[in-house]
Structure 1
Amino acid sequence: MASIFTKIVNGEIPSYKVAETDKFLAFLDVNPNSKGHTLCIPKQEVDKIFDLEENTYVELMQFSRRVALALRKTVDCKRIGMSVIGLEVPHVHVHLIPLRTMSDATFQTKDKVSPEEMQQLAEAIANNL
């Protein structure tokens, strides 16, 4: 069965896209730790990051870096944190989280962001790529 992220890649589920290439997709997390929390995924459905082909892993990190730099230009924060946990969705994903405090990185607190704000934010990040 396809993961929720594969359904996003296939256009079956809407998302707030930030960046896309033929191999990767970046979109805003709909349940963000902080405003701007972005997920970077390979379009190929692979469960665990270290099961990616080495070149795909490196390319995912390069793609994530590019998105993180745009995110840093867009969202007021001290830094962009990166986390790869992957227990909740069996599809490789890199969390890029704008950090103002350490609690932004804990996955315990969530920001409320309206759909309108999400759309504006996705467009603003994309414009900073």
Structure 2
Amino acid sequence: MPTVFTQIINGDLPGRIVWSDDEVAAFLTIAPLTAGHTLVVPRIEVDDWTRLDPALWARVMEVSRVVGAAVRKAFDAPRAGLIVAGFEVPHAHVHVFPAWEMADFDFRRVQSGVPAADLDAAHQRLLAAL
């Protein structure tokens, strides 16, 4: 069965996609650390990022850099956070989000139940910045 990320990328599940090309997609998470928290995901399903082809990993990082610059701009943040955690979904992914302090990197502070309107607004801000 395809991962939840593949289902979002393929349009089988709803998602707020901000980037899509032949190798990589990026979309907002429904459980953000901060508004604009985006997941950058290779289209190919590989559980562990260390097993990705080096060229594909480089592409994931390049898209993460572009998305990171956009989240900084869209949310007027001094930094873009980047985390590779990988325990939530068995599909390699990078968390990119606007950050103001080290506490913004703490997954214990994830916001669940964010209203759809707030996610939609973050999506529009990020699209405009890209």
TM-score (norm 1): 0.93
Alignment coverage as a number of residue pairs: 129
What does 1:1-129 correspond to in 2, within 5 Å?
A: 1-111=1-111, 113-129=114-130
Amino acid at match of 1:117: D
Q: Cα RMSD over matched residues?
A: 1.3
1:49 and 1:92 in contact (8 A); partners too = yes
Moved over 6 A (4+): none
Amino acid at match of 2:36: G
1:35 and 1:113 in contact (8 A); partners too = no
Distance 1:127 1:76 in 2: 13
2:71 and 2:77 in contact (8 A); partners too = no
Structure 1 residue 78: Cα displacement: 2.5
Distance 1:49 1:43 in 2: 12
Distance 2:77 2:71 in 1: 10
CA deviation string 1:66-124 (max 9, x = no partner): 11111111013231110001011100100012112222101011236321121121122
1:4 and 1:89 in contact (8 A); partners too = yes
Distance 1:118 1:62 in 2: 24
Unaligned ranges ≥5, structure 1: none
Unaligned ranges ≥5, structure 2: none
TM-score (norm 2): 0.92
Residue 72 of structure 1 aligns to a residue whose secondary structure is helix
* 105-114 or 85-94, which deviates more: 105-114
